[in-house]
Structure 1
Amino acid sequence: MIQVEHMNKTFKVARRSAGFLEAMKALFHRESETIHALSDISFFIGDGEMVGYIGPNGAGKSSTIKILSGILTPDNGTCIINGRIPWKERKEHVKDIGVVFGQRTQLWWDVPIIDSYELLKDIYEIPTQTYEENLTELTKLLSLGELLKTPARQLSLGQRMRCEIAASLLHSPKILFLDEPTIGLDAVSKLAVREFIRNQNKRHNTTVLITTHDMQDIEALADRVLLIGKGTLLLDGSLSDLMNHRPKEDATLDEIIATLYRDYDI
C-alpha cells in the first residue's frame, strides 16, 4: 500500500553563462534557480496494482521514485508505504521494496554477477534457503544461466537489465519500482522483461510502479496511469480513461500522450 498526500520537493540549481570571466564571478557570487520538481502530489496505490507513471523528461518521475524509495526527503507532505515513512525507516523499508533504475546499476562492475548477488544476500540478510529458492526461480524465468559467471562490464545492456531485475527481487519485495527498465533494450529483450514483470505480479501479487517513455510498456503492463508534468499530477485513471483523450479515432497511445502534453503545455 502506497499513500502519498500533498508531497512537494524543490531543488536549487546553479546557473552561469559560459566563459572564463563568468566562471570567476561564480566563485564569489553563485546564481541559482529553484526548481519545483514536485508540487502538491497525491495518489494511492493498492496492493498488487500495476501503475504506469508517465510524463516528459524533467516532469518529476524519478524524484518521486527516489522519495518512495527513501533516497530523497520531500520538503513537506506525507508518504506512507506499508505503514512506514520511507526516509525515516529506511532500513526496514528497503526490505519490502525492489528498485531498478534503467540508467544506474546495483551490480559490482568487475566481478561475476553471482558475487554481487551473494553480497546482496548479506546486505538484505536473506535466509539461505529463501535466497537459493529465489535465485533458482529468477535464473530460470530470466534465462540468466551462464550470465551469473560473467562480470557486469562484459554483459550487453539487455543481459545486464535482466540481471538488475533479478537483483532487485532476490529478497522477495512486496513492491517493485521500475524507472525506465527497458531503456535501450532491443525488441526481444523488452518482450522478455515485460513478460517477466507480468508473471511476477500474478504469481506473487507484487505491486509495480513503472516509469517509462515507451508507451508499449504501459499498454503491456499498466492497469492504471498517472500522468505528471512540471511536477504536477495531471491525470490519474485507467488506460481506457486515457483513450478518451485521443485526438482521432485511430490514434495510437503515443499520439494520445503527445496530445495531452500539448493540452497541458508540458
Structure 2
Amino acid sequence: MGPGDRVRYVAIGDSHTEGVGDGDDVLGVRGWADRLAERMAATGARVEYANLAIRGRLSAQVRAEQLAPALALEPTVATVFAGVNDVIRSGYDADKVIGDLEAMFAALTGAGARVATLTFPDIARVAPLTRPLVPRVLDFNERIRAAADRHGVVVADVAKHEISTDRRLWATDRLHCTPLGHARISGALASALELPGADGSWSDPLPAAPRPGALLTVAEEVRWLGAFLGPWAMRRLRGRSSGDGRVAKRPEPLPVEVG
C-alpha cells in the first residue's frame, strides 16, 4: 500500500469498530477503524472507507446484517471484530460465535480482500469483577488465532501486550477504549498489516502512574457496578440493546482525506 494505490477499506463489527469511547453521540464517534483508514491514506494511497459496525451487535447479527453489504462494496481491505458481546453473556456458545467469525473471514478473503482482526485483552485486569470470564476470553482468543490462520487473516494480537490492559486505554465503562486506546489499536492493526511507516511503538508502555489504594479500588468497583454493570444487566433483562434503532455511521465508501 503506497502512493497512488487504490484501497477500499470496509469495517464490520460492534461498538468497538463503530468507535464508542472515542468521541460522543453529539459530535460523532471516531474510533480505531477511522484512525486506521487515515493511516492508510497517509501512505499516499487513494482510500475509500466504509464502516458498517453498530454497537451492541452479537456475532450472528454482524454476520447476518453486515457481511453481505460489505461484500457488495468489494473491499480490498476489511476488518472483522465481533464476539465480545457474546462472550460476556450467559448464553455464550463458543463454537457458534467462532463459526460466525470464520464464515466472515472465509467470505471476505474468498472475495479477494485482505482481512485483519484483533484479540481481546484480559478483561479482569481492567474490570476485576469480570474475572470469571477470563477462561472464555483466553479460549476466544485462541480460537480467533486458529480461525484466522486457516483463512490467511492478519491478527493484531493486542492481548499479548501489557499495554492492552493499562486502565488509561479504557473508558469508565471498562468495555470500550478511550481515544488513546483506539489510537493504540489502530497502530496495532497498521503494524500487523505492514503499512508503510507503521512499527511496534503502539505497544510501548505509558509512563508509570500511581497505584490506587485498596479503599479507592473498592469504591471504584462499587461505582462501576451502579453506573455501568447494573444498567447493562437491565437492558439484557428487557431484551434491549444499546444499538436499537441505530444505523451504520458510514454505510458507503467515501474518500479519506489526510490532514
Pair in the same fold by TM > 0.5: no
Between structure 1 and structure 2, the one with the greater Rg is 1
Question: Which is helix-richer, 1 or 2?
Answer: 2
Q: TM-score w.r.t. structure 1 length?
A: 0.31
Question: Which is strand-richer, 1 or 2?
Answer: 1
